[in-house]
Amino acid sequence: MDSFFTTEILSSMLTLTFLEFVLGIDNILFVSIIAGKLSEKN
């Protein structure tokens, strides 16, 4: 279990968590823009 908590693995996990957060916000913005364009056509 000690090999799981190395500096390299923890930094990779933090980087991946940050990327997931940023890409999640990007998806929310994309969907809201597309939904806004759909409501204008109706």
Domain ranges (residues) in the chain: 2-41
DSSP annotation of 6:
-
The string of pLDDT tens digits covering residues 1-41 is 668 789 999 999 999 999 999 999 999 999 999 988 886 55
Can you give the pLDDT at residue 12?
95
Please, which residues have CB within 8 angstroms of residue 16's CB and are 6 or more apart in sequence?
none
H runs (alpha helix) in 1-42: 7-41
